[in-house]
Each structure stands twice: as C-alpha cells, then as structure tokens.
Structure 1
Amino acid sequence: MTIELLDVRVTHQGRALVDVPQLSLEPGRAVTLVGESGSGKSLLAHALMGSLPSSLQVQGLVSFGGERTPLQDAAARRKLWGHQLALLPQEPVLALDPTMRVDRQVAEGHPGFLRGRRGRLAALKEAGNRLAGLGLHGVQGAYPHTLSGGMAQRVAFAAATIGGAEVLIADEPSKGLDPVARDALAQLLSRHVEQGGSLLTITHDLDLARALDGELLVMHQAGIVEQGPARQVLAAPTHPWTRRLLEAEPGRWDPAWRNPAPETGAAVPLIEARGLAKAFGGRTLFSDLDVSISPGERLALTGPSGCGKTTLGGILLRLVDPDAGEVNHHAELAGGRLQKLYQDPAVAFPARVPISAGLRDVVRRHNVSPERVPLLMDRLRLGHSLLDRRPGEVSGGELQRLATIRAMLLNPLVVFADEPTSRLDLLTQQETVNCLMEQVAEQDAALVLVTHDVGLAAAVADRHLSLEEAVPVASGRDAIAPQGSR
C-alpha cells in the first residue's frame, strides 16, 4: 500500500514548522530524511502518525492506497497503529514502560494478545522468538532500565514490528549506538524494506543514510530543499545547505579552541581516581584503573556500547559507587561547578513545565546572571520562543542544545558530556561543540567526553581513554546490564 502526504503544514502560534507539498512512501522502498535539528523532520513523521502535540496545528491530506483523509483527523490514523503504521521512537528507553518486563511489552503489540489466554501465550512466544532473533536471548524477563542503549533500541524495534505493520517510521534510530550496533540496526531496517514494507527514517547519521540507500530528502527551515537517490545526493549535493552539512564533518574542523595539550604535570587535579574497578552481571568492565583530570584537560572516553564508559563517568562524578578504588574531588568543584550533559537530555528538565521554568530555577538557585540565557540561546541559534514550550514539544536536537545551555550557566570547572551531540546534524553539532568548547576554554575547565564518534573524539580531545573490551550480544544474565553501563 502506497502512502502519500499532500500539502503538509504544521504550525505553532502562526509559525510554520513543517511545509512539505508532497511525500510518498511505497512498498519495498526506503525514504530517509536528513536535515538540521528543528527543521521539522520528526514533526512530519508525527503528522503522519497522528501523534503531534495538541499545542501544534496541522493541515494537509494523507492518502492510504488512494483514500484521502485530513491530517487533522488523527483518530483515523490511530486505528492503524501497530498493524499498518508503526513508530520506532527517538527515545527507546523512555518510550518503554519501566514497570513492565521486556517480553510483555513486545507481546502487547501482537494481534492475538487480547484474544484470551491462548492468544496471550502465543503472543509471548512470538515476542521471545523475535527478541532471540535480534540477539537478545535471556532478556525476556528484564526491565527496560537494565538494558544498554543498543539493547533497548532492539527491544523497541521488536515491539514496533511484531504487529506486522507495513509502514515503519524510525526516528533517529542510531543515536547513541556504536558503529557495530548501527550497522546491525541498518540491516534490521533494510530487512523490513526487502520484505515489502515501507520505511521512513529520520536521522542525522549520514552513514546510516548511505547504508539504507533508497531516496534521500534534505530538510531545512521546515521545507525540503533537495531530494534524490541517497548515493547521488551525498556524493554530489546541489543545494548550498546540503554541501555545508557534508562539509561539517569533525575531521574537517579547524577551530580556534583547538590547542596543544595543556601542561598538566604541575596542576592540582580536579578529579583523581585510583584503583577503580566495576563489574556487572559477572562481567568485569574495568579494574585497577587510575584516572586523573586536571584544569583545561580534554579527555575522551571511547569504546563499544556496554563497555562501561558512562559507568566510569558516573564513578568519576561520584554518582556511582565503584567495586574497588576511590575518587577524590577538589574543593572548588562544590556548588555546581561539576556539570553533566546527559545522553538523554530530557532528564535534565521537568517534563510538565515550560523549559524557561527549569532554567529560571538554575539561575535563582546559583545566583547566575539571567542575561546569560538569551546570550547562549543566540550563540546556539535557538529561537527564544522555545523557552515557552515543554521539553516534549521541541526536537531532540533542540533539547540537547538547551541542556548544554543549562550546564554552562554555572561556569563549571569540569563538564562530563555523555554523547552530547548524538541528536544533532553535523552542522549544528559543529556549532554546539564550538560554543561548548569556547565556554570550556574561557573557564579553563576540564572536559570529559563520552562518544562513539572517533572523528569527534579526535577533533575535541587531547587525551583518550579507550575501554577496549568488546561487549558481545550475550545470552542469559550476561545480556543484562544496568542502564549506567552504556
């Protein structure tokens, strides 16, 4: 069945957030949307799903196999969820119910789940088979918070596809995944297309776009500025903004803040850790590890998903207890001078109040000049009207930049950045990192960067710590690791 969107327009208080004349999704065909954060990619997908926030207005038509209905009639499309339309969400850990075990969450999408005890047992069996087919043996009884980011993404994929939906929408599916996990995800999505399904993928990951091939659409300022075969557009872009996007790869950066490694020998460390060890599920993540972080230093923590990068960061921040060893903080780190940028920026803001309220609380609590908020908003190309929205009403990329602003308001001496640009397009990533690094340089602050992006680590850091232990797709209890171990 072919789906066609016509004259789609999404607005907020009269401002156009999406303005797309036409988009077609055909069986056996991959369509990929790339573009800057906030350009309207995810909103276009939610307009199709019928899941836009109530504060946004939508106009246009959607055609299912030639039958047209208004996009305003969201209820008509909700009837199609699961068995014809499915969404692989941008935040798999947050989308999964934390109180339900994995197998039941996957099974709920099965057509027979509500058809009595026999149907429920069949659904649970199919859920187990699908999880096993994704390399998730033994996690059926686990809760979502015990899974790594890559594992949660695969669980969400199983839940989204178990109902047999023809049309799959994948919203930033590869963020936070290492290259091996990203390639495995690309194979899953490609398999859906090869089996005759339609695929709409929203991504900032150009390597994923290349792997999926198919049709590529480039969005900028609410509209589509370039489209064509993915290989052609990415190899020879014609629109200036597409060219700028491709030229913003970290390996091509030459910023003013890129300095030689600082002389840290005589400096008093801000954080000093000795003999650290940590294990989960009977597997040692690291042992007898010494880490020292001095003013002005830029340290990158790299390694595959699940190797313990975020866990090590939590230990250095004294948010997680090590199994062995000790961590000492300099007295100057008290009073908010140690800040963390979370991999999931939504956790940095109260969900039910405007973003301005969360930032205002920080300003008041720490006696920060309120003028820093609009200044940093301008430097990160964020419209001031975003402050009036709730966290769920802005794009993931916009929220990640707002979380950067929240952290930098306090002029920290140490910034722990956990995949701080995973939701950003290349151009916005470059601008965001420039702003972050300029602030770090002005304060002579230390930066600890967790990233799967080897190019970004090379561009930013002067010292690297790689947790090289590969984490296989395990079976049994070894497949289960606390969320922090990502």
Structure 2
Amino acid sequence: MNASSQHRTGTTAMALEIEALSVFSRSQTLVQDISLQIAAGSALTLLGESGSGKSLLAQAVMGNLSPGLQCSGALQIGAHRSQAAAQSSRHALWGREIGLLPQEPWLALDPTMRVGQQIAETYQLVGQPAADSQNETLRATRVRARELTARALRSLGLQAASHKYPHMISGGMAQRIAFLATHAAGAPLMIIDEPTKGLDHERRAEVLQLLRTALVDRIGLLTITHDVWLARALGGQVAVMLDGRIVEQGPAEQILSRPQHAYTRRLLAADPANWTQRIVPTLEADEDRAQDDDAVIVRMQDVAKGFGAQPLLSDINLAIRRGEFVSITGPSGSGKTTLGNIVLGLAQPDRGRVQRRTGLARFAMQKIYQDPTAAFAPGITLRCALQDLLKLHRLGRQELQTMLERLRLRPGLLDRLPSQVSGGELQRFALARVLMLKPALIFADEPTSRLDPITQQETLQLLKEHAQANECAVLLVTHDRRIAGHLADRELALHLN
C-alpha cells in the first residue's frame, strides 16, 4: 500500500474509519450511527438479515447512494477524509483507493466485453502504473496485464471463460470473475458484497484464499455476507447489523462462539450447519428410469446437452412427481441450471426426450432465478409488477398481502424499483410472485442465495409447506448439501464432465 493512501492512529495504519454514519430518506432513517474501523491488512465482516442496511452502508462509503437517500457522519479512506454527505468527493477514489464488488456480479461486468479482456483492462489501466507515451512501454504493459489475467483465471480454474461474454457463464463463474476484476485494481480498501453466494464448498474455499491473499497484501477488507463459515474463516472483526444498527461487534472468534445479543444467537442457530439432517436417497444421473406413473409431471429420458465441443450433461434420466421435492447438487459448472431450464423448456437437449404432462396450464411451470434482477423489469416499481400479476391472473390483494407478511417484506418496499431493494428482498419478491400462481412445478435455482440464515430457513420452510399443500413439485438447485439433506425427498447429484 502506498504511504499516501494510509493514515495512522498511533502506530496502526488504517484503511477505513467510519464515524457516526447514518443513511436516511425524507421519511425514515435506514442506517443509524455506525462507527467502524478497519486496519490495513485486516478484515471486518458484516453479518445481518436481508434489508438490515449492510449494502446501504457500503454504498454510503463509496458515495453511491440512490437518489432520494442522504447520509451524515464522517469517513476516512486512507489519507482522504470527507464528510459522508459529500458523496461526489469519494468518486475520484474508485478503483485506485477503494474497490467494490457488488452483490450482483452482473453489475460489475460489461456485457459487451469478453471477461478476460475486462480483467486485463483493469490490470493495465488501474492496477499498474500508467504507461508512458512510448509504444514499446505501452505494449509491455499490455503483455504484463495479459499475463496477470491468465494467472488469475488459472488460480480459480476459469481459463475456459476468458474468451466468453458474461451472459455465457454461470452465476457462480460471474461471481468469481467479478472478484478477479475488482481485485486486479489493487485498491488498498475493498468492499465485497456476498462473495461466496451460490458457490459450492470448493469454490468458496478458493474465494477465501483470494481474500486471505489480499490481507497479506495489506488490503483492508469490508466483507458483507450471510455466510457464517466465511466470517469464521476470515477472522478479524465481526459486526452484526439489525434494523440499520450494529447490535454486536468484536473479534470474530468471540462473536461467533459466544454471542451476547439474542439476534446473533438466533442468526447462528439458523445456519444450515445446525439444521436437522435426514438420510435422502441420492440418484446418479442415469438411475431414475421410472415406469408410467400418473403422478409424473416431467420425465427426462437419456437427455444430453453440451455447448460447442464441451459436453455438459449426458444420459440424464429423471422423473419429477407431483408434490415431490427434488434437489440438484453438484459443483459449479456441472449443469444444474441447464438441467432445470431443459425441464421447463427454456433450453433444448441435444438428444434424448423430455415429456411433460399433457393438459398443464400455460403458467404451470415457473422458475425462481438465481439472479433475481433477471425476473423484474428494471424500470417499473415492484407494486406495479405485482399489480399486473394480480390483474392478469385474477388474484386477490389479500392473498398478496398475506404472502408478503409471511416473507417479512414491508409494504413500503413496493414503491421502489428492483434496484432500490436488497438482493435478499428482491429474491423474496420473486418467490412471492411464483408461489401466488400455485404452479404444478417450480424450478428454484439457488432461491435463497442472497438471504441470511434466519430468513433462508423461514423462506425454504414456506416453499416446502406450499409444495405440500398444493401438490407442487419443486426442483431445487443448491450448492449446500446440508439444505438438500434437510428438505429434499430425493437428491440428483451431478458431476463435472
């Protein structure tokens, strides 16, 4: 870290100091009186429920709050001190002094550029000293940027993604690519919002190693996560937020082992690691060759799918029955989302047969997207989107109100755009919209990846109860086999080809 980007309190170089920061609108205070410190080379992890203000705090530090929101307090980022209200004064720090990996990886990636090019450009223009005007020096800088990019992609097993566009890679891959692009800038302070959501254990371990490498490089990390495992593994400090306030703060080992606040205790108790596990029958992809069965909604026979010369799925045989909860597990890139899309008819197999029950209504099969922003038009409010649903399907307003109450979604959120609520809140709105249709089959693609443990447990229980009450089949994609073991009737395990 450059000496110019540090300041010292005593003998400790500080990457970030937040003093009495609050975020508010005309009608309410959303984040209240937050004070935090992060030393260079240290980690501070924010835990708390969806909508508690964690991402708003990050946006305030960046100086990037949505229109209509203001903040107060003071900030010190390296050597730069500013009043929190002067948001534009921090824009010049973006990239070189402070980096942000947003909760939605698609927001960090340019859809028109290949992912390798995006990482290399960051290395070249931000992460290295700017080249002078001599062509040879500029050429050397580009070569060095490409070398660093190739090394970074290899470190996460993402070499094959280098020449792809963002829409061609999975959500888990996009998350890791966005992390690499953010890390390439080399900023002495990084704010990372949910870096492990939707990743299997192996990929989570890779992200953890990258974060630890950043700490060794004296980068200060402010990590926002629902992943208790990550908070424990990172160490450093932990702060727990509830309703816009910090209710408990201290060393990670102390907070996560001996929590004092009742909410922290509930949060840790709801972690999937503490859920009751059942023995769930596990199928290999070619084992489910069911005979004719009136309860079958979708049957896949010898289905195969690939992309170009790369095989993805092969010899898939699966029967999904009415009221059944089937989980699909497997590492990132094993084809879980593609399999679900084939079930719904959103993708076609290269060979094999997919039979769907005849007589199903047009909206009888529904998808809950891993990325909830993909499910909503960005320019209309959530109220408008849900009112359109009620009108089109002749549903009652009371039914919507009951569903939102069950999902703990405040009525005031309805007047916001999808981009103005947290990822966890938007994920629950997407679930509410699907459940109200009472479909015959729901393909739920990591439906709680953006939720804290308490809300995740409540939401999955609602999904399970809905499926049982309405004889709705659920095809659940999850990287967490503990969730599969708690909820599923059967588990289909996919493997990398």
TM-score, normalising length: structure 2: 0.89
The offset of 1:252, in angstroms, is: 4.6
Q: Which amino acid aligns with 1:416?
A: F
Partner of 2:66, secondary structure, is: coil
Segment drifting more, 223-232 vs 197-206: 223-232
Q: Is 2:61 aligned against 1:43?
A: no
2:151 to 133, 138, 149: 133
Aligned positions of 1:5-24 closer than 5 A:
5-24=18-37
Cα shift readout 1:290-341 (whole Å, capped 9, x = no counterpart): 1111111110000000000111001111110101011121234322121110
Q: Is 2:110 aligned against 1:97?
A: yes
Q: Is 2:80 aligned against 1:58?
A: no
Q: Is 2:201 aligned against 1:176?
A: no
Q: Which amino acid aligns with 2:358?
A: A
Partner of 1:238: 260
Work out the CA distance in 2 between the residues paired with 1:229 and 1:241. 17
Q: Which amino acid aligns with 1:102?
A: V
1:162 to 184, 192, 210: 184
Q: Which amino acid aligns with 2:198?
A: G
Partner of 2:175, secondary structure, is: helix
Partner of 2:248: 226
Work out the CA distance in 2 between the residues paired with 1:68 and 1:242. 32
Partner of 1:25, secondary structure, is: strand
Q: Is 2:207 aligned against 1:194?
A: no
Partner of 2:285: none
Aligned positions of 1:421-436 closer than 5 A:
421-436=448-463
The offset of 1:142, in angstroms, is: 2.3
Work out the CA distance in 1 between the residues paired with 2:50 and 2:137. 42
Cα shift readout 1:345-367 (whole Å, capped 9, x = no counterpart): 11111111111111112222222
Q: Is 2:337 aligned against 1:310?
A: yes
Partner of 1:406, secondary structure, is: helix
The offset of 1:39, in angstroms, is: 0.6
Partner of 1:481: none
Segment drifting more, 288-297 vs 157-166: 157-166
Partner of 1:440: 467
Q: Which amino acid aligns with 1:407?
A: V
The offset of 1:260, in angstroms, is: 12
Q: Is 2:344 aligned against 1:326?
A: no
Q: Which amino acid aligns with 1:283?
A: Q
The offset of 1:103, in angstroms, is: 3.2
Q: Is 2:76 aligned against 1:74?
A: no
2:427 to 400, 405, 411: 400
Partner of 1:484: none
Q: Is 2:31 aligned against 1:4?
A: no
Q: Which amino acid aligns with 1:129?
A: E
Structure 2 unpaired stretches of 5+ = 1-5, 7-13, 283-289
Work out the CA distance in 1 between the residues paired with 2:163 and 2:281. 50
1:127/1:162 contact within 8 Å kept: no
The offset of 1:76, in angstroms, is: 1.1
The offset of 1:17, in angstroms, is: 1.4
The offset of 1:121, in angstroms, is: 4.2
2:281/2:489 contact within 8 Å kept: yes
Q: Which amino acid aligns with 2:418?
A: P
Work out the CA distance in 2 between the residues paired with 1:214 and 1:43. 22
Work out the CA distance in 2 between the residues paired with 1:334 and 1:95. 38
1:270 to 282, 297, 309: 297
Work out the CA distance in 2 between the residues paired with 1:67 and 1:108. 26
Q: Which amino acid aligns with 2:440?
A: L
Partner of 2:417: 390
The offset of 1:6, in angstroms, is: 0.9
Work out the CA distance in 2 between the residues paired with 1:174 and 1:345. 16
Q: Which amino acid aligns with 2:20?
A: D
Cα shift readout 1:133-165 (whole Å, capped 9, x = no counterpart): 221335443211222333322322232122321
Partner of 1:250: 272
Segment drifting more, 18-27 vs 405-414: 18-27
Segment drifting more, 194-203 vs 264-273: 264-273
Work out the CA distance in 2 between the residues paired with 1:105 and 1:278. 29
Partner of 2:286: none
The offset of 1:205, in angstroms, is: 0.5
The alignment-based identity, stated in percent, is 45
The offset of 1:193, in angstroms, is: 0.9
Q: Which amino acid aligns with 2:147?
A: N
Partner of 2:45, secondary structure, is: strand
Q: Is 2:38 aligned against 1:25?
A: yes
Work out the CA distance in 2 between the residues paired with 1:139 and 1:247. 38
**Using a 3 Å threshold, how does the CA distance of structure 1 residues 26 and 237 change in structure 2: closer, same or farther?**
same
1:103/1:127 contact within 8 Å kept: no
Work out the CA distance in 2 between the residues paired with 1:203 and 1:465. 28
Structure 1 unpaired stretches of 5+ = 472-486
Work out the CA distance in 1 between the residues paired with 2:104 and 2:265. 29
**Using a 3 Å threshold, how does the CA distance of structure 1 residues 428 and 345 change in structure 2: closer, same or farther?**
same
Segment drifting more, 383-392 vs 99-108: 99-108
Work out the CA distance in 1 between the residues paired with 2:74 and 2:453. 32
2:171/2:371 contact within 8 Å kept: no
Higher relative contact order (CA 8 A, sep 6+): 1
Q: Which amino acid aligns with 1:59?
A: S
Partner of 1:191, secondary structure, is: helix
Work out the CA distance in 2 between the residues paired with 1:123 and 1:306. 33
